Amino acid sequence: MPGQQSVQTICPFCGVGCGMNLLVDHQESVVGVSPQSDHPISKGKLCAKGWSTPFAIEPGDRLKHPLIRTPNGFRAASWEEALEVICFGLEDIITRLGPDAVGVISSARASNEDNYAAQKFARAVLGTNNVDHCARICHSPTVAGLKQTLGSGAMTNSAADIDQADVIVVWGSDATENHAILGGHIIEAKLRGATLIVVDPRRTRLAKLADLHLQVRSGSNILLANALLHEIYRHGWQDQAFLDARCEGAEALAEAVADCSPSRLSEAIGVPASQIQTLARIYGQAGNAMIFYGMGITQFVSGTFNVMALANLALSCGQMGRPGTGVNPLRGQNNVQGACDMGCLPNVYPGYQDVADPAARQRISDYWQCLVPNRTGLTSMGMTRAALRGVFKGMILFGEDPVVTDPDQNEVLASLKALDLLVVAELTMTETASHAHVVLPAASFAEKNGTFTNCERRVQLVHQAIPPVGESRGDWQWLGAIARRLGSKALDWTDSQAVFDEMAAITPNYSGMTYPKLARHHGLQWPCNETAPDGTALLHQTSFPIGRARLIPVHHVDIDEPADGDYPLQLTTNRLHFHYGCGSMSRKSPLLERETPDGILFINPLDAQSLGLRDHSAVGVRSRRGYLETRAILTDDLPPGLVSMPYHFHEAPSNQLTNRAMDPISKMPELKVCAVRVCPLPEG
């Protein structure tokens, strides 16, 4: 069409990172989307969310000007005025309480450049390591667990490897709902003859297609992994040559699982011993076997140990370092891998360089020409807890909606109200933004250049397609404007390429990447450096970053809040194919919005019957932390005793109910299970 052009970019929704083209009308407006036929992962496909991208960019209620809170609500303001309020607030808090009384929450939806700027702003401008993002509540145990065992907290293999796997184990992940294109590759692999095994308390779509579904009890992951290891070592299915050559700790692990027989543990795991024995035999004798996992592994108080248990399994069987093998976390948001890589975590600088390591601190300080803080900062929930104690007073947050996504909503709201300064940059007014003192209009991914890093460590270019809507600005630009007003030139870049080049210079895994190289290759997978100038599709082929991989025995940890007489049902959380995160992007699409009612409680028909519920009955759901009302959907995809809610809907926020109890290592809250009571409501 005359006046229309196609701009190559990357889907802004999930961590699969599908290639798409935005169709732009007269350089002003995104009017359509099409898949890139030659993209190495999506291969000419997009899921329903990807096809709905234009609605997320221009939903009709985009924020176009800064807003400042007044006693009578928000009023429009100029950027100058908003920046002045922000800088006055920051300086006041830092003067009174020091730099650790402020912090930054960056965004797994934003680009690497924006995230790099956010952590540099926290460290070099504010002087604190208080920087975090939503990986805290999705894959922080992956970073902690795989780093300890393998030396690198990321997917070991690539999506393309699915074609080479004989056995695929999907553990605690609903890939067809949450990572639809990758889920489709798994289904294709199953259709061409691969054995598919699903471990999940819910009968997911993949579970219905699987050769074997272990419908385990919530929170029994370590018991199952140890029972599998018991069988594997008992039968001699371990890969002794691999263990001898490349790992340490195999003997201690074999000893630790000696009493973990399937027959002893099957009741606690919730599946027959024969199923455990079958999975052990299939995995233990597989040629190439891939493990994929999601938040059914990570969102527990035992999250880090759960991840280590899966690594123990793969290492014991030598399923590592070859195509079609490995331990593969399915990262949730489009750039959650990148936000972690950029150092938007309170304990590491860019490239996972430990803030407690004096050499790393010196390196970063020299490069940035300022002394960066070396005390581990607060996590996102550490910041909200500190706000309740009155010692944390200022938060700058972008592209996240913790009121909807974080556990125990009432406590999150109380902590936000305790702040002297809350700045939120967003595309549209969110629940969290509605509590801010200053709201800034952020530019969407279609309005800026940058990079996203997908779940298989592929760094891909995002190209500007349209000018920023209204007065919106990219995140590194408005962060730079605040820095300049505070007297710092630390964020004075000319363009996003300059941000990337600076980041690559101090982030070892990215050191071989440049924008022109990324443009030539559909992106590059890290590590990309002098020894791997074309990137690395497959990690750990001949060695691990820590030399030998570590097999570390882990033991069962009870869930924090089991069902009891007062709260007799267990609640788990799930995501729906047609929605994404807090819903602030996917719910702008009328096509996606019509597919599911807002807020749902999935419940087994037997539980429903005992409560007198029918399909779509109105129900109240109460936990020790909150109460909400919604509608019941009856399904035997859940076993009796377990109910489930998606968390996308602010009208029925499942996080009113969820538990803040945390994994002591990664500080991951136990979002996957808490105790609730369900009661029927009179029909209105």
Which residues lie near ligand SF4 (CB under 6 A)? 11, 13-14, 16-18, 42, 46-47, 49-50, 179-181
**Residue among 138 and 180 whose Cβ is closer to ligand SF4:** 180
Cα 352 to Cα 340: distance, rounded to the nearest angstrom = 8
Least distance CB 404 / ligand SF4 (angstroms): 19
Distances (CA, A) of 240 to 226, 229, 279, 340, 446: 18, 13, 20, 34, 51
**Residue among 47 and 422 whose Cβ is closer to ligand SF4:** 47
Cα 17 to Cα 111: distance, rounded to the nearest angstrom = 12
Least distance CB 331 / ligand SF4 (angstroms): 11
Least distance CB 154 / ligand SF4 (angstroms): 17
Residues forming a β-bridge with 458: 525
Q: Which two tokens mark 346?
A: 């309170």
**Residue among 11 and 673 whose Cβ is closer to ligand SF4:** 11
Amino acid at the residue 235: H
**Residue among 49 and 550 whose Cβ is closer to ligand SF4:** 49
In 3D, which of 598, 596, 631 has the Cα closest to residue 617? 631
- In terms of C-beta density within 10 A (0-12 exposed, 13-18 middle, 19 or more buried), how is residue 191 classed? exposed
Q: What ranges in 346-474 are assigned the alpha helix state H?
A: 358-368, 380-388, 402-405, 409-417
Least distance CB 108 / ligand SF4 (angstroms): 13
**Residue among 13 and 352 whose Cβ is closer to ligand SF4:** 13
**Residue among 99 and 183 whose Cβ is closer to ligand SF4:** 183
6 Cβ contact partners less than 8 Å away, ≥ 6 residues apart: 21, 22, 23, 24, 34
Cα 257 to Cα 250: distance, rounded to the nearest angstrom = 11
Q: Is the dihedral of CA 203, 208, 214, 220 positive or negative?
A: negative
Q: Which two tokens mark 43?
A: 């291969």
Least distance CB 371 / ligand SF4 (angstroms): 40
CB 66 within 8 A of CB 425: no
Least distance CB 46 / ligand SF4 (angstroms): 4
Cα 567 to Cα 563: distance, rounded to the nearest angstrom = 6
**Residue among 46 and 309 whose Cβ is closer to ligand SF4:** 46
**Residue among 16 and 383 whose Cβ is closer to ligand SF4:** 16
Q: Residue of minimal CB distance from ligand SF4?
A: 50
CB 225 within 8 A of CB 206: no
**Residue among 334 and 477 whose Cβ is closer to ligand SF4:** 334
Least distance CB 502 / ligand SF4 (angstroms): 27
24 Cβ contact partners less than 8 Å away, ≥ 6 residues apart: 4, 5, 6, 7, 30, 31, 465, 466
Eight-state DSSP code of residue 345? B
Least distance CB 268 / ligand SF4 (angstroms): 35
Q: What is the Cα Rg of the chain in Å? A: 24
Q: What angle do CA 332, 108, 116 make, to 5 degrees?
A: 145
E-strand ranges in 117-255 read 131-132, 167-171, 195-199, 212-214, 247-248
Cα 529 to Cα 230: distance, rounded to the nearest angstrom = 40
Least distance CB 184 / ligand SF4 (angstroms): 8
Least distance CB 592 / ligand SF4 (angstroms): 11
Least distance CB 55 / ligand SF4 (angstroms): 13
**Residue among 16 and 110 whose Cβ is closer to ligand SF4:** 16
**Residue among 83 and 181 whose Cβ is closer to ligand SF4:** 181
Cα 628 to Cα 600: distance, rounded to the nearest angstrom = 11
In 3D, which of 303, 202, 285, 272 has the Cα closest to residue 236? 285
Cα 404 to Cα 425: distance, rounded to the nearest angstrom = 16
Least distance CB 335 / ligand SF4 (angstroms): 11
**Residue among 13 and 476 whose Cβ is closer to ligand SF4:** 13
Least distance CB 586 / ligand SF4 (angstroms): 9
**Residue among 11 and 634 whose Cβ is closer to ligand SF4:** 11
Least distance CB 13 / ligand SF4 (angstroms): 3
CB 158 within 8 A of CB 522: no
Bridge-based pairing state of the strands 601-603 and 627-634: parallel
Identify whether 527 is preceded by a cis peptide bond (ω within 30 of 0): yes
Cα 332 to Cα 606: distance, rounded to the nearest angstrom = 32
**Residue among 42 and 659 whose Cβ is closer to ligand SF4:** 42
Least distance CB 47 / ligand SF4 (angstroms): 3
Q: Is the dihedral of CA 48, 51, 54, 56 positive or negative?
A: positive
**Residue among 102 and 180 whose Cβ is closer to ligand SF4:** 180
